[in-house]
Chain A
Amino acid sequence: MQKVRLSGIQLGMLFVGFLYGSSSLLNPAFSALQDGWLAFLIGWMLGIIIIAVYISIYLLNPSQTLIGILKSNFGRFLGTVIGILYAWYFLHLAAIVLRDFGEFSLLVILPNTPLPFIIGCFAALCVYSLKKGIEVTARTGELLIPLIPLASLIVTLGIARLIDFSNIKPVLANGIKPVLTTGFGVLSFPFGETVCFLMVFPLLRKRSTLRKTVFISTVIAGLLLLIIVVRDILALNPQLTQRAAFPAELASKLFPVINIYPLILLNLLIGGTIKVIVCLYASAAAITELSGLSDYKALLSSITGFSVTLSIWLYDNVMQMFEFAVSTYPYYALPFQIIIPVLLLIISIIRRTSERRKTS
């Protein structure tokens, strides 16, 4: 496989774009109503812990991708089986984000365009970018990701006159349980999804900068998402936020005089594209490594084509999409995002300790 190297800033930009991706549109904390900000804070803190687990796994197994780490820790057979499951999960995640983008475009900007055409065009852009190499996407991210906070700030400041701080009260009116459940949802979407980066970390030029880069990126992306969550609660009110299909798009409509929803679309185009690209790369690289092929680019188009078909097949309608995201996805993603990585970390620590004992 061609040697590709990413700088710390490039990896950081990919990380921010990935976390921001579709989360900026869907508001991951909407089901906790006025306590959404608290649920997001809990999910964010748990997210930082789980991302620290991913970093530790990589640092304990340096220069290895997730597939290599799985094989060396779980053994060849079990590692391959779990690797195939991860390849499926990354592919499924790419299909989910493609469908999010398709549904948003269908509902908001292109109501008469067939869904397969919208998703197909979006996927074609992702394949084109990945065929040039993931470092090209990372360099594009360096240019485009700084636009994301700008777009969010314009929308937030534009609707600042509608902010009503009484919308945040009463705090914990329904008890702590819905807040914790939503916090768990925030952990799985978007923070836990960064498990995909275990396939990208080996591309980093200086391993010593990994911890700092990823931590700063998680804090920046978390802050941006927190601003969006709080803005939606204060300006739209919690009930409207919960009922709206895409709260960010609704918030943009409140902007005085001009229509600025293209700015929201800009966020999705930049963040969403990076998220799909990272997921497709992770899936293609995982399948390539599992099958012993030399270049992930040979499989990329066929995997993306399958992912487009899968994204059309995923849901019957947009309501099923939201129902799946809230009720099923956190439990479905739990083994991939938390259980297997925590097991991997424990096994890696035990192996490292026993190796040290042997050498001493």
Chain B
Amino acid sequence: MITAAFIIGIFILIMITDLPYLISEKKKSRLLIIYLFFILSGIILGILLDTTNPPENPSTLITNMVNFIIGSN
């Protein structure tokens, strides 16, 4: 669980240090939506990466897509 704990720790630290920026922004709701999207996806991904069956990595997905488009094996 080292990776998940480390990543969650990083994101908690990020949220604390970003508080002044969040307060000073005029379009708060818009900022919060985008902000929470990155924070939550990062935390969920961090937890998933530490499971016994982690999700397929993006490089494999991109390689499959590229091979499909250029017709290579």
Give the B-binding residues of A (Cβ under 8 A).
Answer: 92, 114, 116-117, 120, 287, 291-295, 297-299, 301-306, 308-310, 312-316, 320-321, 324, 327-328, 331-332
Q: Are B14 and A301 in contact, with the CB atoms below 8 A?
A: yes
**Cβ contact within 8 Å between A313 and B11:** no
Residue of A299, A301, A304, A309 near B31 (CB, 8 A) is A299
Distance of A150 Cα from B26 Cα, bound (Å): 47
Task: Please pick, from A298, A316, A321, the residue contacting B22 in the complex, using a CB distance under 8 A.
Answer: A298
Are B66 and A328 touching (Cβ within 8 A)? yes
User: How many interface contacts (CB-CB < 8 Å) are there between A and B?
Assistant: 110
A–B complex contacts, Cβ < 8 Å, 11 sampled: A293-B25, A293-B30, A302-B11, A302-B42, A308-B7, A309-B42, A312-B3, A313-B58, A321-B59, A327-B63, A331-B70
Are B34 and A116 in contact (CB-based, < 8 A)?
no
| B1-18, CB < 8 A from A | 2-3, 6-7, 10-11, 14, 17-18
Q: Assuming the A-B contacts A295-B21, A309-B7, are A324 and B26 also in contact, with contact meaning beta carbons closer than 8 angstroms in the complex? A: no
Contact: A294 with B57, CB < 8 Å?
no
Per DSSP, chain A at the interface is helix
Contact of B25 among A298, A313, A324 (CB under 8 A): A298
Find chain B residues with CB under 8 A from A117 CB. 6
* A302 partner residues in chain B, CB cutoff 8 A: 11, 14, 18, 34-35, 38-39, 42
Q: B31 near A298 (CB under 8 angstroms)?
A: yes
Report whether B57 and A315 are in contact in the complex, using a CB–CB cutoff of 8 Å.
yes
Q: Does B41 contact A (CB under 8 A)?
A: yes
Chain B, residues 24-61, CB within 8 Å of chain A (1/0): the string is 11110011001100110110011001000011011110
Known: A295-B24, A297-B21, A309-B7. 9 other contacts (CB 8 A): A92-B58, A116-B3, A116-B7, A298-B22, A298-B35, A304-B14, A308-B7, A312-B49, A313-B55
Asked if B38 contacts A313 (CB within 8 A), the reply is no
Instruction: Find out whether the CB atom of A314 lies under 8 angstroms from the CB atom of B6.
Output: no
Set A292, A306, A316, A321: member contacting B38, Cβ < 8 A: A306
Contact check, B14 vs A305: say whether CB atoms are below 8 A apart: yes
Q: Tell whether, in the assembled complex, residue A292 and residue B27 are in contact, meaning their CB atoms are under 8 Å apart.
A: yes
Contact of A291 with B34 in the complex, beta carbons under 8 Å: yes
| Contact present for B30 and A292 (CB under 8 Å) | yes
B35 with A316: CB separation less than 8 A = no
Given that A299-B34, A302-B35, A316-B57 are known contacts, is A294 also in contact with B66, CB under 8 Å in the complex?
no
Among A287, A309, A321, A327, max chain B CB count under 10 A is at A309
Decide: A291 near B30, CB < 8 A? Known: A305-B38, A315-B57, A316-B57.
yes
Determine the chain B residues whose CB is within 8 A of the CB of A292 once the complex forms. Answer: 27, 30
Q: Is the CB of A309 within 8 A of B45?
A: yes
Assembly CA distance A225 to B17 (angstroms)? 38
* Cβ–Cβ contact B30 & A306, under 8 A: no
Q: Looking at the assembled complex, report how far the CB atom of B56 sits from the nearest CB atom of chain A, in whole angstroms.
A: 10
Residue of A nearest to B59 (CB): A324
**Docked-complex contact A116 and B6, CB < 8 angstroms:** yes
CA distance A330 to B28 in the complex (A): 39
A314, B57: Cβ atoms closer than 8 Å = yes
Q: Which residues of B contact A114 (CB under 8 A)?
A: 2-3, 6
A292 to B57, CA, bound (A): 31
